[in-house]
Structure 1
Amino acid sequence: MQMTGAGLGALGFTLLWVSGLAVASQEDAPHGYRIAQELLVGDGTVLEVLEDRRITAQLHAQSWGSGLDEETFDESTDSEHQPQLEARVRLVSEVGEVLAEQSLGYPLAKVEKAPLSGLPYPAFFLTVDQTAPMGSYSGPATQILAPTQSRLEPVLYRDENGEQRPLAMAQTGKAAWQILPSASGATESIAQVSSAPASEGDDFVTTYRIYRWVDGQWTAASRQQPGYWDMESEFPEPSAFP
């Protein structure tokens, strides 16, 4: 179903509503960008991911998780004279007004509905590909957005010391995360495992951290033990997390 009307037409903003997706005209993208992705939030607003217009959907898919630099662009794009643009995320009203916008620091990003039940707000995973050309400690980083509550500010969690921190998960050569099912219809938990060199010696320490929705907020618990984990290993059993 296509939305029409003088109000939208005056703003030059055409929005198609298809199976929970929003499709805006590329004319609404800032100069040098393309609208790479759009999702309906549920209150009439739309989450959009903007990427450099030279990054096609195919190039995005091919480059995800392996790093992207300006040399990747086709020579015909004259990228030497047009610096690579950082991806952006923005929240757009149903009449095309940009309510909030943030630069993401890297060229590739994506957004998806978070498969988390029982939350009092629609939640989304915003993932920014921070993969470096070399090394095993970088990769896609995911944060949770709650646009109806805090627009584009990341959802916070309370750590073991009672401090509020942005909830973010890493997927690298030495870190991974999964959503763990819950019982009795409660909100699912998010488990994160990561391994890093110990502060002394050549040994490694693995951290097992879990995020739980408790009494209206995200909380975290973690434990560490000597040992090594990497992406070639099986993801730890739920019992490994505190």
Structure 2
Amino acid sequence: MMVNKSGWTRTLGLALMFSAASAHAEQGEVPEGYRVAQQVLVGDGSVLEVLEDLRITPQMHADSWGSALDADSFDASADLENHPLLEAQARLIADSGEVLAQKDLGYPLATVEKAPINGLPAPAFFLTIDMTAPMGSYSGPATEVLVPAQNQLDPLRYLAETGEKRPLVLAETGKAAWKVVPANDSATESIQQVSSAPAPQGEDFVTTYRTYRYVDGQWQVASRQQPGYWENESEFPQPSAFP
């Protein structure tokens, strides 16, 4: 059975959202203007945190996710004109309370959750940053695959077909989607992604199908393209479409 990332991410994400790991609730001094929106245990005693502007309530986060945070959601006391919204931050906190890594995420909303991917040397997590713009179909949540025990808050890198190492970031937009696919003949799940974009020349579209697999100790990608158009309102492509 194929796992639909879009479905389980919102279900699992909302279930975890704004709940703190009680044993670590007091860890790490929270920067001024922020609140701890989410905490997820990594497994080695450390914690992944998402910090958001304290003016963004949990309900506002849920209502705005995937549709762009609207200034009309705030009342006058928020004073956005003089104090613009702070961008979300991700932090990795040690069991001792030490901040091991911290980074700005560039947008106000983000979530973190354990990735349903087995067979890796260390647990993987999905850090999703909501990059949705008010208009257009090429923006939306972008998910970085993290392995904190190895790379802290740097995205996992995969081996591209060109031989380059690139960050593993998965887009969910009006013209892109992805899924985690259960393992068949291996111990590790793979990831399929589909995306459409205008062809380099002319007015036609081209659709790209990618499969990310964990092979010989590293993530690799295989891809193929074909003329045509795919949008997120359609059903996710059949497995046979992916290399």
Query: Normalising by structure 1, what TM-score?
Result: 0.88
Tell me how far apart the structure 1 counterparts of residues 151 and 107 of structure 2 sit (CA, whole Å): 22
Q: CA RMSD in A?
A: 1.6
State the match for 1:6 in structure 2.
none
Q: What secondary structure, in the 3-state scheme, does the structure 1 residue paired with 2:119 have?
A: coil
- Would the alpha carbon gap of residues 216 and 57 (structure 1) be closer, same or farther in structure 2, given more than 3 Å must change? same
State the match for 1:37 in structure 2.
38
Tell me how far apart the structure 1 counterparts of residues 88 and 173 of structure 2 sit (CA, whole Å): 20
Q: What secondary structure, in the 3-state scheme, does the structure 2 residue paired with 1:80 have?
A: coil
- Where structure 2 has 5 or more consecutive residues not aligned to the other structure, the ranges are 1-19
Tell me how far apart the structure 2 counterparts of residues 110 and 93 of structure 1 sit (CA, whole Å): 19
- Would the alpha carbon gap of residues 114 and 209 (structure 1) be closer, same or farther in structure 2, given more than 3 Å must change? same
- Where structure 1 has 5 or more consecutive residues not aligned to the other structure, the ranges are 1-15
Tell me how far apart the structure 2 counterparts of residues 45 and 27 of structure 1 sit (CA, whole Å): 11
Tell me if structure 2 keeps the 8 A contact 1:26–1:35.
no
Tell me how far apart the structure 2 counterparts of residues 76 and 228 of structure 1 sit (CA, whole Å): 45
State the match for 1:129 in structure 2.
130
- Give the drift of 1:185: 5.1
Q: What secondary structure, in the 3-state scheme, does the structure 2 residue paired with 1:76 have?
A: helix
Tell me how far apart the structure 2 counterparts of residues 47 and 59 of structure 1 sit (CA, whole Å): 22
State the match for 1:143 in structure 2.
144
Supply the AA of the counterpart residue of 1:180. Answer: V
- Would the alpha carbon gap of residues 17 and 32 (structure 1) be closer, same or farther in structure 2, given more than 3 Å must change? closer
- Would the alpha carbon gap of residues 158 and 185 (structure 1) be closer, same or farther in structure 2, given more than 3 Å must change? closer
State the match for 2:103 in structure 1.
102
Identity of aligned residues (%): 66
Supply the AA of the counterpart residue of 2:124. Answer: A
State the match for 2:173 in structure 1.
172
| Rg comparison, structure with higher value | 1
Tell me if structure 2 keeps the 8 A contact 1:41–1:122.
yes
* Mean CA deviation greater in 197-206 or 165-174: 197-206
2:139 corresponds to 1:117: no
- Number of aligned residue pairs: give it: 224
- Give the drift of 1:23: 5.1
Q: Which string of whole-angstrom CA distances, capped at 9 and with x for unpartnered residues, describes residues 83-135 of structure 1?
A: 11000000011121111100000000000000001111011000000000000
Supply the AA of the counterpart residue of 1:213. Answer: Y
Query: Normalising by structure 2, what TM-score?
Result: 0.88
2:229 corresponds to 1:205: no
- Give the drift of 1:232: 1.5
Which protein has greater RCO, CA pairs closer than 8 Å, 6+ apart?
2
Supply the AA of the counterpart residue of 2:154. Answer: E
Q: Runs in 1 of length 4+ with deviation above 6 angstroms? A: none
Q: What secondary structure, in the 3-state scheme, does the structure 2 residue paired with 1:60 have?
A: helix
- Give the drift of 1:80: 2.0
- Would the alpha carbon gap of residues 209 and 28 (structure 1) be closer, same or farther in structure 2, given more than 3 Å must change? same
Tell me how far apart the structure 2 counterparts of residues 105 and 228 of structure 1 sit (CA, whole Å): 30
* Mean CA deviation greater in 68-77 or 195-204: 68-77
State the match for 1:227 in structure 2.
228
Supply the AA of the counterpart residue of 1:122. Answer: P
